[in-house]
Amino acid sequence: MDIHTLMFGWEYPPHHLGGLGVACQGLVQGLLGNGVQVTLVLPHPSNTAETADMHVITPTETLLKTVHVLSFLSPYDGHVQFRKRAANMPRELTEIYGADLPQAVLHFTAMSVEMTKDTNPDIVHCHDWMTYGAAAQAAAYHDVPLVAHIHATELDRTHFHPNEWIFAAERRGLLAADRIIAVSNYTKQILTTHYGIAPDKISVVHNGSATCTDTRPPVIASQAGEGRPPMILFLGRLTIQKGPMQFLDMAAKVHQLRPDVQFIMAGEGGMIGEIMRRACELRLENVVAFAGKVSNDEAERLYRQASCFVMPSLSEPFGLVALEAIAHGTPAIISKQSGVSEVVGHAFKVDFWDTEKMADCALTILRDAPLAQQLTSEAPRVLQHLTWINQASQVRSIYQDLIQ
């Protein structure tokens, strides 16, 4: 059976800020690999005329069409960030798209429904709250089932202090959907507990890993660091969700016993000033370095250089970054409040608030070479199973189930 899915996305590489774009790309390619035809609708900040047309992006992806909708929406937007960006827009654009977030979303919704009237899909599939309105209207227009995919909830992003308007929009979308795909059991739990969604409406499909296993011989930085001091890595947006403050607390505890250890925090975000102040308060100014936003190549180098990778997220629906670290052979310490901890066996798993234990795990990895070696060599095996082709085939089954 040929299936055509009309998919509403948020971001798509190379223009992406976080895991959502990577996951979206992985899923689209996995679906194409499973013979599913995909039309992808994306908000697009670029102001050029051609992006408003449907076109095939690469010759190999013959089943994929993308529709770019002119919009100033950006993933991970909140009201404040959006207003900041809108303030810098030319006046005529803000008049068209609206100066606040709800208006911009409404505009995106209306535009994208209008632009996909002729696509004739079998199913509509949307990713996270900004697209729910558009997708719900499109599904109603085409009279086909609606699948809502949850990569992150407002509760994850705000550490359970949601913006009520976004929370309500999310909940409306989730209730309207015929099936919800959560990226982890952890997220499913949040949806049932906090959004009141019936558990049997939610299917869990863990994210796949796009990263191939690093085939180069493993480097254990603490042993073969070429004279460099051991380094512990943080990589993620510097927002409350990702636990940068917990990382610093952990760093301070490691520093007490191992003053030779360096810490690198890669990523950018609104909390940078606060984080730097805290690092100074903890007297860590000489051992913590801020790398800013890093390219894929730079990230790869950091992973390979790190003695261990710490993901102290307060609430992480999945946490693709942990899979990336693992793919590069970096021993990982991951928050128990994460989806990725459900699929990764060869790692330390710690409650995000227990920074003392986090430090203890890091120190154990630094002390015990066989432990570091085993984490390096064994953890990447999970990636052989967790491919996007495998994960997308589960999504295809969900489609089939709904269409019948």
Partner 1 sequence: MSHPSPLICLYFQVHQPYRLRDLRITDIGKGEAHYFDDEKNRAIFRKVAEKCYLPANALILDLLKTYPQFSVSYCLSGVFLDQCEEYGTDVLDSFHALSATGKVEFVAETYYHSLSSLKSLEEFCTQVTMHTEKIEQLFGKRPTVLRNTELIYSNELAQVARLMGFKGILAEGADHILAGRSPNSPFVPPAFRLPRKAEALIRKHRPYPRAAKDIHVLLKNYRLSDDVAFRFSDRSWIGYPLLSETFTDWLTASGGHSVNLFMDYETFGEHQWRETGIFDFLRSLPNLWEQRGIRAATPSDVIQMWGKKQTETFDAHQFISWADMERDLSAWQENLIQRSALDSLFALESLVKEVADPALTALWRTLQTSDHFYYMCTKYFSDGDVHKYFNPYDSPYEAYRRFSHAICDLRTRLEAKHSPS
* Nearer residue to partner 1 within complex by CB, 228 or 381: 381
168 or 369: whose CB is closer to partner 1? 369
Should residue 370 be labelled a site residue for partner 1 when binding is judged by CB under 8 A? yes
Stretch that binds partner 1, among 61-69, 229-237, 272-280, 364-372 (CB under 8 A): 364-372
Distance in angstroms (rounded) separating the CA atoms of residues 225 and 125: 46
Instruction: Evaluate the CA torsion angle 127, 133, 139, 142 in order and state its sign.
Output: negative
* Candidate segments 7-15, 197-205, 308-316, 375-383, binder of partner 1 by CB under 8 A: 375-383
Region binding partner 1 by CB under 8 A among candidate stretches 167-175, 239-247, 294-302, 371-379: 371-379
CB nearer partner 1, residue 20 or residue 308: 308
E strands within 183-268?
Answer: 202-204, 231-235, 262-266
Sequence-distant contacts of 135-141: CB under 8 A, at least 24 apart: 135/8, 135/173, 136/172, 136/173, 136/176, 136/177, 137/109, 137/113, 138/6, 138/8, 138/112, 138/113, 141/113, 141/117
Q: Quick check: 259 binds partner 1 (CB under 8 A)?
A: no
374 binds partner 1 (CB under 8 A): yes
Q: How far is the CB of 50 from partner 1 (least distance, A)?
A: 44
Q: Using CA atoms, how far apart are residues 181 and 202, in angstroms rounded to an integer?
A: 6
One of 144, 174, 233, 361 touching partner 1 (CB under 8 A): 361
Q: Which of 89, 175, 291, 371 binds partner 1 (CB under 8 A)?
A: 371
143 by Cβ neighbours in 10 Å (0-12 / 13-18 / 19+) ranks as exposed
Tell me if 285 contacts partner 1 by CB under 8 A: no
Which strand (E) or helix (H) includes residue 334? strand 332-335
Residue 302 near residue 291, CB atoms below 8 Å: yes
Nearer to partner 1, 147 or 395 (CB): 395
In order of 8, 148, 399, the CA distances from 67 in angstroms are 9, 19, 21
Tokens of 302: 């950091």
* Shortest CB 368 distance to partner 1, Å: 6
Does the protein bind partner 1 through residue 108 (CB under 8 A)?
Answer: no
Q: Is position 217 an interface residue for partner 1 (rule: CB under 8 A)?
A: no
Identify residue 209 by its one-letter amino acid code.
Answer: S
In terms of Cα–Cα distance, which of 153, 31, 39, 129 is closest to 398?
31
Nearer to partner 1, 343 or 398 (CB): 343
Determine the Cα–Cα distance for residues 80 and 89; give it in Å rounded to an integer.
15
- Judged by CB under 8 A, the stretch of 26-34, 41-49, 211-219, 374-382 that binds partner 1 is 374-382
* Residue 386 beta carbon to partner 1: minimum distance, rounded to whole angstroms: 8
- HSE value, Cβ hemisphere, 13 Å, CA-based, for 90: 5
Piece in contact with partner 1 (CB under 8 A), picked from 46-54, 196-204, 266-274, 372-380: 372-380
Furthest-apart CA pair in the chain: how many Å?
64
Site for partner 1 in 317-356 (CB under 8 A): 342-349, 356
**Could you tell me the smallest distance in angstroms from the CB atom of residue 205 to partner 1?**
14
Pull the structure tokens for residue 209: 């890993």
CB of 372 to partner 1, least distance (A): 10
Applying CB under 8 A, the site for partner 1 has a residue count of 27
Instruction: Note the residues at the interface with partner 1 (CB under 8 A).
Output: 257, 342-349, 356-357, 360-361, 363-364, 367-368, 370-371, 373-375, 377-378, 381-382, 385
